[in-house]
Structure 1
Amino acid sequence: MNRTTATPAQHFSRRVRALALACSLMPALAACTGSPSSPGTAATPGGTEQQGGTEQQGGTASTGSGTADSSSSAATPASLQLKERLDVGLQLPWSVVFLPDGAAVISERDSTLLKEIHDGRATTIGEVPGVEPGGEGGLLGLAVSPEFASDRWLYAYFTSGTDNRIARMKLARDAGGRLTLGEPDVVFSGIPKASTHNGGRIRFGPDGFLYVGTGDSQRREQPQDTRALGGKILRLTPEGRPAPGNPFGDNPVYSYGHRNVQGLAWDADGRLWASEFGPDVDDELNLITPGGNYGWPTVTGAPARSGFLDAKVVWPSTAEASPSGLEIIDGVAYTGALRGQRLWAVPLSGETAGTPVAFFTAEYGRLRDVAKAPDGSLWVLSNNRNPDFVLVLEPRP
């Protein structure tokens, strides 16, 4: 699984292209079917870092080609049924998680507020202290403690005045049933910050440890340095220490060579997958191996170069993807596309990924996060619609 670089002309000539049909939401049926975006073939290499790989609003809304491993035999969903659209006045929502009682908690990047959605209504829980939003930074990823029923910890990744950091806060319900927010306890700090490439996704894995996706923070020397925190996936104890069994000893780094990881999810067999922003080309879906080097900034995509791990899916055009949140349901990986303004569904089969399928292309604008609710539905957060909303979807295999 190696990589080589290529010129733009070589990149174009090697690209396997097949149009994906844009799917539209039929008001009467409130359902959408997807069409394959490309034949599954080897992916193409990358180029230089440009604006296309940031979270900027814009880009084309047409469907495009994501290249993948053609050996996967898994099937994508036949449709995604729209169950509900929650217009609850959100402003730049970044992450959604669910409490054991079924309530959703959402972070708003720039307002630094946490909001609860329960029974179709949004209520402000509180403002997270110490957050200094700016550019792509602010109040970002959330994670619920695996022992929440007893410890009541909610974890948040956010940008402070000096760095990106992770704090945990107690959530409790008062006598009136409203959630209240305790004081933050910073468990991990020192992740580099910048106006872009701040990473920000956090999730607890099946092993009970906290996984953290970071960005290179525009410091291109960091991703290949296993002593640095930028451009990594980190693995921590709930208290913020390097988790036992990490590949580099007493070091929080789990994998490296990343550019900007904003999606983390596990399949049914416990394999970790991650979505990652490319520069002007080559957004990625990666299968994560402990200690693995995913190439940035030396290479991008899947060009089969010794010493680096290839992406399992590559979207050659960042205007079609710029993937943020990631969720896996019934063997299908769903990722929200920002510039691409669509929901991508990728069938998984073991360690391989099949042909990506696009849903809702240009229907709802930029899509930031996706998460599985306790009832099995898929929640999708819009981004930059002012106000933003939640799509509640039912995957139908």
Structure 2
Amino acid sequence: MKNSLGVLLGVLLIQILVVSCSESGKSTVLQIDTPIEEFFQLDQTTVGVSTISTGMDVPWEITWGPDNWIWYSQIKGEIGKINPGTGEKVIIHKLDSVYTRTTPGLLGIALHPDLENFPYLFALHNQKVSDEKIVLNISRFRIDGDRLTDQMVLLQIPGARGHNGSRIKVGADGLVYISSGEAARAEESQNVNDPGGKVLRMNIDGSIPDDNPFMDNPVWAWGFRNPQGLVLTEDGRIYTSDHGDATDDEVNFVQKGGNYGWPDVRGICDTEEEKVYCSDSVIIESMIHWTPTIAPAGIDYYNSKSIPEWNNSLLLTTLKGSSLRVLKLSEDGRSIVSEDIFFDHKYGRIRDLCISPEGDVYISTSNRDWYRTNTPEKDDDRIIRLFNISDKEIPDSVLEYKYRRNQDAEVVTVTAESLYSDFCSSCHKKDGKGVEGTFPPLSGTKTVLGESSNLINTVLKGVSGEIVVNGVTYNEHMPSFSFLKDDEIAKILTYVRSSFGNEASEVTEEEINAVRTSNEGGI
């Protein structure tokens, strides 16, 4: 497969022709020279990996435009586009009133598929309208060359410092679909009169389609928590990716009028409480779920012969999981039959992806966001291209990347450190320092170093509300971890009490069991 020709170059320049539409509507030919940084081998297809853009700042959405540029949103309020061949960036618009903190900001954007007749870009962006109120605006802009004009807010829904979702797409039916988070109001996910925790559906002017499940109501489906991925296929299928709480991140096949269970059902109906709930409620279970959580983000549908092994698959990016996942679908698209994992913790957090008409896949990293542990690297954030190079010669200087199939994953020994990484580090961070004002530290605090029973109760019951830690106020929401076994909780708490500069006694299984028993099922 390898050929020594071109070793002195160190890269292979793949030249392809892309048709690009100019502002005048005339077609021009754009030559793309893409240096291959590495490659990987599927069953029959060799896939090249190239970086097309660096130095970005938390791109939330990347989407392929009709001009064959990649349009993007950055969380700080910038909308722009990138030439995928040269890396040239053009800033289209800057929103001044965007509220950003951890995950709020400028989120999903979408282009109308028929820009000639409907020259619109749709965007989701948080705004703080008072000291206590945050909203999520669903806006429409008119595209005028390389700028946006005539902003119109189609709908304003509750927002929050987290759990906003969200993605926006325009379907083949010309209607607008939005995946909204419940804005940290879990109970509203089951309220069909509240737009939070839903998939919404509306006309491009914000009016409600006559065939929605509820009259004069944008709700299409409900029972979601924080869906950061949404895709519509050409034949009208809808899929979402949804962040779980402490367990059960999900991918869902969305149906009209469907209830996806949050907060009463997580993943599938498998606990005793969930079985009781599902016995008299119509709940649509997830297609796949992950515990420990992986923080699923952008999702897209691959339907191209360019990489045939991925045809009829959902491509999913993950943040905590730091990977691209290929979820092979059944023929009817209603179930997932296999999962392959690529770039596992190689590029850091991966936020979104898009697919070109030629079948090339582009992924974007999110290493400059609020998480920021051991990253960003100097080139972050970046957009990376994956494309078929099976008919090309690959010089010896280009290294092969080895990916893994999920079913081939090695059995990992469960340690206290790995349990902390799986269930705690996404908020409290790997070094236990937390995020000031958002997630409290675990170093030198009374809760951690005090009576072990108080710490155990905190873990078993969770926390919801305002707390003060080391003089800093946190509006804390920590879920209950009572689903963990006594020995797992004991390992985690002993690790916390003996790490990050802490020097406190270990926590035993017997102590966990005693506190659990004393709560008499109240947790």
Deviations 1:82-102 (A, max 9, x none): 342123321010001222111
Counterpart among 342, 365, 375 of residue 323 in structure 2: 342
TM-score scaled to structure 2, two decimals? 0.58
* Match of residue 81 from structure 2: 116
- Report the CA distance between 1:396 and its aligned residue: 9.1
Matches of 1:370 and 1:325 in 2, distance apart?
Answer: 6
Residues 365, 382 of structure 1: 8 Å contact kept: yes
Percent identity of equivalent pairs: 31
1:213 aligns with 2:179: yes
Contact 1:32 1:360 in 2 (8 A): no
| Secondary structure in 2 matching 1:182 | strand
Instruction: Note closer, same or farther for the CA distance 1:329–1:195 as it changes in structure 2 (3 Å cut).
Output: same
Work out the CA distance in 1 between the residues paired with 2:165 and 2:153: 18
Deviation at 1:266, TM superposition (A): 2.8
Change over 3 Å in CA distance of 1:197–1:78 after alignment to 2: farther
Which range is displaced more, 236-245 or 252-261? 236-245
Alignment CA distance shift 1:33-1:362 (3 Å): farther
Deviation at 1:324, TM superposition (A): 0.7
Alpha-carbon distance in structure 2 between the residues aligned to 1:102 and 1:237? 26
Return the letter of the residue paired with 1:195: R
Say whether the 8 Å CA contact 2:38–2:50 is kept in structure 1: no
Contact 1:229 1:253 in 2 (8 A): yes
Deviation at 1:182, TM superposition (A): 1.5
Q: Structure 1 residue runs of 4+, over 4 Å off?
A: 77-80
Is structure 2 residue 116 aligned with structure 1 residue 142? no
Could you report, residue by residue, the CA deviation over 1:331-354 in whole angstroms, capped at 9, with x for unpaired residues?
Answer: 110010000000011001111111
- Superposition pairs of residues 360-379 of structure 1, within 5 angstroms: 360-379=343-362
1:308 partnered with 2:277: no
Cα distance 1:196–1:149, how it changes in 2: closer, same or farther (>3 A)? same
Name the SS for the 1:223 alignment partner: helix
The total of aligned residue pairs comes to 320
- Residue matched to 1:280: 246
What amino acid is aligned across from residue 117 of structure 1 in structure 2? I
Report what 1:328 is aligned to: 301
SS at match of 2:344: coil
- 1:327 touches 1:335 (CA, 8 Å); kept in 2? yes
User: Which of 202, 205, 216 is matched with 1:236 structurally?
Assistant: 202
Secondary structure of the 1:150 match is coil
Letter in 1 for 2:297: S
Which has the greater radius of gyration?
2
| C-alpha displacement of 1:149 | 2.0
Render the CA deviation track for 1:263-308: whole Å, top value 9, x for unaligned.
1113454211111111111110100111111000001001263421
Q: Note the residue ranges of structure 2 that are not aligned, 5 or more in a row.
A: 1-34, 129-133, 271-277, 304-311, 369-375, 391-523
Greater relative contact order structure (CA < 8 Å, 6+ sep): 1
**Is the Cα–Cα contact under 8 Å of residues 336 and 370 in structure 1 kept in the other structure?**
yes
Contact 1:235 1:254 in 2 (8 A): yes
Q: Secondary structure at the match of 2:116?
A: helix
Deviations, residues 234-262 of structure 1 (Å, cap 9, x unaligned): 00110112222111222100000100111
Q: Is the 8 A contact 1:378 1:395 kept in 2?
A: no
Distance 1:29 1:84 in 2: 5
Gap regions ≥5 residues in structure 1:
1-26, 35-76, 174-178
Q: What's the secondary structure of 2:55's corresponding residue?
A: strand
* Cα distance, 1:296–1:78 mapped onto 2, change above 3 Å: farther
Given candidates 239, 249, 257, the residue that maps to 2:223 is 257
Partner of 1:64: none
Alpha-carbon RMSD across the aligned residues, in angstroms, is: 2.1
Q: 1:353 aligns with which of 329, 336, 343?
A: 336
Shift of 1:79: 6.0
Change (3 A) 1:291 1:283: same
TM-score, normalising length from structure 1? 0.76
Q: Distance in 2 between matches of 1:270 and 1:147?
A: 17
154, 163, 174: which one aligns with 2:135: 163
**Maintained 8 Å contact 1:169/1:181:** yes
Distance 1:198 1:395 in 2: 36
Which amino acid in 2 is paired with 1:116?
K
Contact 1:106 1:114 in 2 (8 A): yes
Structure 2 residue 39 is matched with structure 1 residue 31: yes
Q: Give yes or no for contact 1:342–1:358 (8 Å, CA) kept in 2.
A: yes
The residue aligned with 1:195 is 161
Letter in 1 for 2:81: E
What's the counterpart of residue 99 of structure 2? 132
Residues 15-53 of structure 1 show CA distances to partners (whole Å, capped at 9, x for unaligned) of xxxxxxxxxxxx98822357xxxxxxxxxxxxxxxxxxx
1:103 and 1:138 map into 2 onto residues whose CA distance is 23
Equivalent pair of 1:88/1:122 in contact (CA under 8 Å): no
Deviations 1:152-184 (A, max 9, x none): 2111100011300111112222xxxxx122242
